[in-house]
Each structure stands twice: as structure tokens, then as C-alpha cells.
Structure 1
Amino acid sequence: MKNIPTTLPDTLLRQAQAIAAREQMLLDQFISLALASQVSVWDARAKQGDWQKAQEILAQAPNTEPEEFDSFVVFRNRATAFGTNIG
């Protein structure tokens, strides 16, 4: 087992604490269980994907700049306006 420092949004922490208390679990046990469950879901979804098919689909897209409304800069500005940090 390894301890890792992490930062959680207050609302997520409160929800996790409430569920752990309701299920009579330690918070770290609940977080480990929830993370294991989510990793399992991501693994299952990844196995359904077909990288070759995805590349073939992307190869059909035109090599042009996106329209302004569809650009990453506009998306980032909108996300920032809603308090989301996307990098």
C-alpha cells in the first residue's frame, strides 16, 4: 500500500465522507474501493475501443482549422468562465 497526498473538492469530500459513514467504512477504504471500481470501468471501456478504426475515422477529417466557435481557445474560455480548469 502506498499513501498519496491528494486534493479533493470540498463537495466531493463531503459526499465521500457521508457514504463511508453510511456504509460504516473508513474514508480511505471507501476511496480505494471507489477508485478500483472506476479503474475497472475505464479498463472495460478501453477494451471496447479499436485504435485502428479511430485512426481511420480521423484520417477522413479535413486538415483545416476549426471554426472559431469550435476552437479550443473558445472552449477553454467558456470552461474558465464556469470555473473549470482544463489546462
Structure 2
Amino acid sequence: MTTLSVRLPDSLHRKVKDLAQQDGISINQFVTVAVAEKLSALLTEEYLQERARRGAAVATRPPWPRRRTWP
């Protein structure tokens, strides 16, 4: 595991400390989860954009059956 020193504004540090305390976790755990969530969101967006770029438009039908209209 790598050690990382981060400088935070006092106001941000207080918020992180308070939220970590409310969750019953350490500041280290809180920051680790926050970084993991952000990475997950960014990588998911990147993956979806790549899939959309490679994809082709396909005509789709709704998942429900069409209603017949009787004269």
C-alpha cells in the first residue's frame, strides 16, 4: 500500500472528519472510498463513451406487444 500526503483546506478537512465520524470510519477510509467512487464514475463514463463510439444505431422495438386496432 502506498502512503499519500494531501493538503486540504481546513474547511474541507473539517467536513471530511465530521462525515467520517458520522459513518464510524477513519478519515483514511473515507478518502479511500471517495477516490474509489470517483474513479469508478469516470471509468464507467469512459467505457460507455467508447462503447457508444464503436456501436451502430439499431432500430429497436418496444418490449411490449403492439395493440391491434380494429376498424
Shorter-normalised TM-score: what interval? 0.5 to 0.7
% identical equivalent positions: 24
Aligned to 2:60: none
Corresponding position of 1:18: 18
What's the CA shift for 1:19? 0.6
- Tell me the TM-score normalised to structure 2 length: 0.63
CA RMSD of aligned residues (A): 1.3
Residue number in structure 1 paired with 2:28: 28
TM-score (norm 1): 0.53
- Cα deviation for residue 8 of structure 1 reads 1.2
CA distance in 2, matches of 1:18, 1:5: 20
Gaps of 5+ in 1: 54-87
The aligned amino acid for 1:28 is N
Which has the larger Rg? 2
Aligned residue pairs: how many?
Answer: 51
Supply the AA of the counterpart residue of 1:22.
Q
In the alignment, structure 2 segments of 5+ residues that lack a partner are 54-71
Runs of 4+ in 1 over 4 A off after TM superposition: none
User: Deviation string for 1:32-54 (max 9, x for gaps)?
Assistant: 0111111100101111224xx6x
Task: Identify which of structures 1 and 2 has the higher relative contact order when contacts are C-alpha pairs closer than 8 Å and 6+ apart.
Answer: 2
Q: Secondary structure at the match of 2:38?
A: helix
